[in-house]
Amino acid sequence: MRLTPAHAAKLARLDNGESLPRSQIPKVLLHPLQEAGVVRLIRSGSSYVVRGVPDALARFVEHHWGVQDLSRYAEAAPEKRSRELLSEIAGDSKALPNRPLEGIFLRSFGKCYLREEPLGVAPQGSATLISLDSLPHLRIKTSVLIGIENPRCLWNFECARKYFPELKGLDFTLILRWHWGTAWRQWLAGWNGQILYFPDYDPAGLGIYAAEVLPHCPGARLLVPKDFERLLTERGDRKFYVTQEVRFPQQVNEEILSVMETLRKHRKGLEQESLLF
């Protein structure tokens, strides 16, 4: 079995002299520890607690799973781990699932910098990946950020731009909503420009905006295409409404409510990719 960070956290506590209820240690983890004699079961009331044998437990974990530093392995959350880190603390860059392309996909049209280097212009069909480690060094000097739900609309935003006349004359940067995790939220906390969001116009898309964007960017606004009701009537699909109706957000502001009422009126949803054609 693969040792997970959650398992490692429990083993680190045992190695530090703590006791844990037997019910908290999965059997698939407890059995090899008992067979190796590096933990003891001690009766506590009507049940048992598990206590580690100091030093012996850490040595077994290193021999059995290759993990040389339990504490650091336990803290190797997906957004913090790298192949280099895993190689250092576990002797294997593949000890845990790793996503080497974890980060923010960005399309710059100018006024974006990584450290002091300009990112230039990302042509249609392309984008720049900013790794999570590099995010603190990203500087965006446009007045507007546009968060985009789906990759194809990031690569080809030029095809959909005509539906948003309010963008005329604005300098903006495009960001794919692929990892709106802790690192990106920390970056946004220090940015003072306007955030617009280009969603899927269906219950799930509005739910994502309400749950994942607005709580961290309360000043964000929805990008809603010109003649939205006509587009919904002509290009919308009933399945995007019927299969997702239960995913409408419960806490809404006026702009979300306006889109919701239009969706309910026509009982259709409109995916943002439909604006590319």
pLDDT at 99 over 70: no
Alpha-carbon separation of residue 52 from 29, 46, 64, 162, 226 (angstroms) = 13, 20, 16, 65, 65
Q: Which domains does the chain have, with CATH numbers?
A: 5-90 (1.10.10), 103-276 (3.40.1360.10)
Determine contact, residues 66/92, Cβ cutoff 8 Å.
yes
- What pLDDT is stored for residue 231 in this prediction? 95
Q: CA 54 to CA 76: how far, in whole Å? A: 23
Q: Across residues 235-251, what is the average pLDDT?
A: 90
DSSP state of 95: S
Beta strands at 221-222 and 172-176: parallel, antiparallel or unpaired: unpaired
**Phi (first) and psi of residue 270, to 5 degrees:** -130, 115
Query: Among 3-7, 109-113, 126-130, 272-276, whose mean pLDDT is lowest?
Result: 3-7
- pTM for the complete prediction? 0.68
pLDDT at 97 over 80: no
Beta strands at 194-198 and 144-148: parallel, antiparallel or unpaired: parallel
Q: CA 185 to CA 124: how far, in whole Å? A: 27
Q: Across residues 176-200, what is the average pLDDT?
A: 87
